[in-house]
């Protein structure tokens, strides 16, 4: 459930994606940081890493909202080429593939500047966000773990049947 996840450290996203993808993805491309034509020497490739308890799922349903952004979107984007089925339910994600680097100034200030964009192994970014495969409202009248909560209910239905309701 990533509907209230506005991002975070790329290293955490990479670790989560590595657990989800499993051992067969270890060493393959999770994401690439792409700088402008004046800074191509700064481009980096981030690889899926080995984990102690890999899941190796074949289907992933991500619950998303307009608040889903950054490293959270990187998890989805990095897994699309690796996992057979990655679908989402909820709302379109924010579309924030920007990467930042920290820079000090006068030993007094520290600035985080947007310096690159993240793409997956297929060079796909996500500036437009990820539209949901099943649009559903965030049912705030129910607890997140309530199986009748609309987004969770759709996610469970997809995992059990391979289809969302109404499709």
Contact 147, 49 (CB under 8 A): no
Q: What is d(CA 45, CA 30) in angstroms, rounded to the nearest whole number?
A: 8
**E strand or H helix at 87, and its extent?**
strand 85-90
Q: What is d(CA 44, CA 35) in angstroms, rounded to the nearest whole number?
A: 9
Residues composing the chain = 167
pLDDT range class, residue 167, cuts 50, 70, 90 = low
pLDDT range class, residue 25, cuts 50, 70, 90 = very high
Average pLDDT over residues 3-14: 90
pLDDT single digits (tens) 85-134: 999 999 999 999 999 888 999 989 999 999 999 999 999 999 999 999 99
Phi and psi (nearest 5°) for 73?
-70, -30
3-state secondary structure of 69: coil
* Distance separating the N- and C-terminal Cα atoms of the chain: 22
Q: What is d(CA 83, CA 25) in angstroms, rounded to the nearest whole number?
A: 9
Structure tokens of 22?
A: 């499993």
Residue 109 Cα distances to 1, 99, 105, angstroms: 36, 19, 5
Q: What is d(CA 17, CA 51) in angstroms, rounded to the nearest whole number?
A: 10
pLDDT single digits (tens) 48-99: 999 999 999 999 999 999 999 999 999 999 999 999 899 999 999 999 999 9
């Amino acid at each position: 459930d990533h509907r209230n996840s506005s991002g975070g450290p790329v290293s955490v996203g990479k670790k989560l994606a590595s657990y989800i993808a499993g051992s067969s993805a270890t060493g393959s491309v999770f994401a690439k940081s792409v700088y402008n034509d004046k800074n191509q020497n700064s481009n980096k490739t981030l690889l899926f890493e080995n984990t102690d308890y890999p899941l190796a799922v074949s289907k992933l349903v991500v619950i998303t909202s307009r608040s889903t952004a950054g490293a959270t979107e990187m998890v989805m984007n990095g897994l699309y080429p690796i996992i057979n089925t990655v679908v989402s339910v909820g709302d379109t994600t924010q579309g924030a593939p920007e990467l930042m680097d920290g820079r000090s100034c006068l030993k007094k200030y520290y600035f985080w500047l947007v310096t690159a964009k993240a793409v997956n192994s297929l060079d796909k970014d996500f500036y437009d966000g990820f539209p949901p495969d099943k649009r559903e409202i965030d049912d705030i009248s129910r607890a997140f773990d309530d199986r009748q909560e609309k987004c969770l209910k759709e996610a469970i239905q997809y995992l059990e049947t391979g289809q969302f309701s109404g499709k």
